[in-house]
Amino acid sequence: MREKDYTRREFMRNLSLTALGSLSLPIFFSACSKQEKEDFLQKHFKEMSEEEKRHVIAKLEQRYLEQYGKKFHISTQEAVPGTLWGYGLELSKCIGCRRCVYACVKENNNSRVSPQLHWIRVLRLKRGNLINLEDSEHYYDPEMVPEKGYVYLPVQCQQCEDPPCVKVCPVHATWKEPDGIVVVDYNWCIGCRYCIAACPYKGRVFNWAEPNIPKEELNPSVHYLGNRPRMKSTVDKCTFCIQRVRSGRYPACVEACPTGTRKFGNLLDPKSEIRYLIENKRVFRLKEDLGTEPKFYYFFES
């Protein structure tokens, strides 16, 4: 079939739309503040030069100082060569006390209420019913834990080797770093939440409003791709505490766990804790059949 020729009417319409568009851009920029303009024109993190990164960091540190009255240190440390991070969690030890949940919130400057953003969700399952995740409950609230007849299964971002969330992002605002951590460029994120829909582990959350963090509880030691305070309309997620693990420290949830359920290490180092438990314990990963290749290993005492 032959394509229809442009009519005079259509030509006029397109011309006027183009003119309107090009005229409205300067109006848009004049209407927004200098800060918004700078943010809008900021490059994707992976395309920034060292000079541009320094400029952005200085700008952000200044902004946080004004906003929160605290001197922040924003790191852009890259992945350490020869590292691929893996996580271990022993189901026979977890007592479901949620210490990890709140240590994570505090370390990572998550919004506390409206919206309340948790990167770790502790599921409670009936003992002997571990495969039916749809029967799980995460609002459980007993006097004391552990409760008889239940097991607890904490779930957070599984840092998949083949992450579905990265595949669906229409603007490449999220990607997998060389050390296996899936990160988000919060400034590049357009808030479409495709990644939230794609994640089979419910590992991502959305800032429905400006984050709500008590000033005195802010953690000023942050990473650009990790726990820096976020803004409205961005998606965020667990980064294995990128700001800690890239300098050799255990993630906050590992240190907070009172039962030593949580383990962390370098999958490429044969002497690491994570390699020991993969080699010596019965391990499994969540929803292995989906082929996402999580780097989060659940294991049992054997």
Binding site for another protein (CB under 8 A): 88, 90, 95-99, 101-102, 113-116, 118, 121, 138-146, 208-209, 247-250, 254-255, 257-260, 263-266, 272-273, 276-277, 280-281
- For the bound state, the minimum distance from the C-beta of residue 116 to another protein, rounded and expressed in Å, comes to 5
CA distances 10 to 5, 13, 15, 191, Å, are 10, 5, 9, 33
**Among residues 108 and 292, whose Cβ is nearest to another protein?**
108
- For the bound state, the minimum distance from the C-beta of residue 52 to another protein, rounded and expressed in Å, comes to 29
- For the bound state, the minimum distance from the C-beta of residue 65 to another protein, rounded and expressed in Å, comes to 28
* Residue 93 CB partners (closer than 8 Å, separation 6+): 259, 260, 261, 301
**Among residues 35 and 77, whose Cβ is nearest to another protein?**
77
- For the bound state, the minimum distance from the C-beta of residue 302 to another protein, rounded and expressed in Å, comes to 10
* Residue 60 CB partners (closer than 8 Å, separation 6+): 72, 74, 224, 228
State which amino acid sits at residue 11. F
Residue 15 phi, psi dihedral angles, 5° rounding: -60, -45
* Nearest residue to 37 via CA among 169, 183, 170, 187: 187
- For the bound state, the minimum distance from the C-beta of residue 277 to another protein, rounded and expressed in Å, comes to 5
- For the bound state, the minimum distance from the C-beta of residue 39 to another protein, rounded and expressed in Å, comes to 25
**Among residues 187 and 266, whose Cβ is nearest to another protein?**
266
Contact 53, 187 (CB under 8 A): no
Element of type H or E holding 262: strand 262-266
- For the bound state, the minimum distance from the C-beta of residue 300 to another protein, rounded and expressed in Å, comes to 12
Distance between CA atoms of residues 189 and 193, nearest Å: 9
* Nearest residue to 231 via CA among 205, 204, 203, 209: 209
**Among residues 51 and 143, whose Cβ is nearest to another protein?**
143
Distance between CA atoms of residues 278 and 259, nearest Å: 19
**Among residues 68 and 102, whose Cβ is nearest to another protein?**
102
- DSSP 8-state class, residue 296: E
**Among residues 118 and 228, whose Cβ is nearest to another protein?**
118
The SS3 of residue 265 is: strand
- For the bound state, the minimum distance from the C-beta of residue 299 to another protein, rounded and expressed in Å, comes to 9
Element of type H or E holding 154: strand 150-155
Distance between CA atoms of residues 74 and 186, nearest Å: 14
**Among residues 61 and 179, whose Cβ is nearest to another protein?**
179
Which residues are paired to 275 by β-bridges? none
**Among residues 140 and 194, whose Cβ is nearest to another protein?**
140
